[in-house]
Amino acid sequence: IKMHTNCRGGLYPRTKDIYRFDVPDDKVSWDVEYKEYQPVDYTAESVLQQPPWADPDIRKSSEPIKIKWNSLDNNIDRQTFGKKYDIYNHVPRNPHGRTGIIGRGLLGRWGPNHAADPIITRWKVVDGHKVKGQDGKPVLQFIAIQRRDTGDWAIPGGMVDAGELVTTTLQREFSEEALNALNLTPEKRDKLRKCLKVFFKNGKEVYKGYVDDIRNTDNSWIETVAMNFHDDNGTSVANLALTAGDDAVSVKWLDIAQSLKLYANHKEFMKKVANDLNGSW
Ligand code: RP5
Ligand code: MG
Ligand code: MG
């Protein structure tokens, strides 16, 4: 298991005074004893108010709440892409180790919080010619958004709603964040959905698993399915007018290269895409 780094140390996102308990590299694994470990307990107010995307606070409830861990719990997918997670003190334990914080932080679900990441690519073309990178291979570009919460450039991904198909999440999040679909009239949104449907049919899986996200805690973490949708001849999605929407403040085509700096472990996904399409890295 690859060690997480983004969800360790420092101030927890969107708080002023919630600091993670320090977890040095050699104390990340639960298999290693860490006697001094005293993680802070934090769950954001927005989560405690229990919106539809959040679980109840099982540790504080008077009557027992039945949650089907490691399975499809009615509409909520509590399965992990990794090995089954353990339950300690009635709550799931992050399979990637300590984070210095217990509770759910900004995440709604105990255990895995499922997301989907649509990676839309095209070849970089200038004056009708494919641009080549230093390695002599053609340069790829992907549609990136700038996140409102951290300012980082990222894939326009989002959370899978309860009962939602991942294929739906991929297209919906892309439309909301990169095309500002939430600001369209219902008729126009419907038209857009039908147009995109064809393009979103041919996806290739790039990654499936744990995300090293700054919001992860000892009890809640993000897992994602990243899919690549490639416009090889630049005739469809490559020509879309991009407008940032929802939790994105900017959107643009970004060159895929080793020098990229992206949110969470999204750069890892880009390397895989460049490799799969034989593009420059
Ligand atoms: C990342 O956060 C995932 O890879 C996905 O891109 C995103 C989902 O969270 P929101 O964009 O909904 O905040 O961990
Ligand atoms: Mg979103
Ligand atoms: Mg998002």
Nearest to residue 181, comparing CAs of 242, 252, 254? 242
Pocket test for ligand 1, best of 211, 221, 247, 269 (most atoms within 8 A of CB): 211
Chunk the chain into consecutive blocks of 10 residues (it has 281) and report each block's average pLDDT, rounded to whole numbers. Answer: 91 96 97 97 96 91 84 95 94 97 98 98 96 96 96 97 95 94 91 90 95 98 98 89 93 97 96 98 97
Tell me which H or E stretch contains 273.
Answer: helix 266-276
Helices (H), 179-253: 186-199
User: Which residue puts its alpha carbon closest to atom 6 of ligand 1?
Assistant: 157
CB of 115 shorter than 6 A to ligand 1: yes
The pLDDT value given to residue 237: 87
Rounded to whole angstroms, how far apart are CA atoms 271 and 149?
Answer: 24
Q: What is the pTM of this model?
A: 0.95
CB neighbourhood size of 128 (10 A)? 5
- Which is the closest atom of ligand 1 to the Cα of 154? 6
The pLDDT value given to residue 268: 96
**Does this complex have an ipTM over 0.95?**
yes
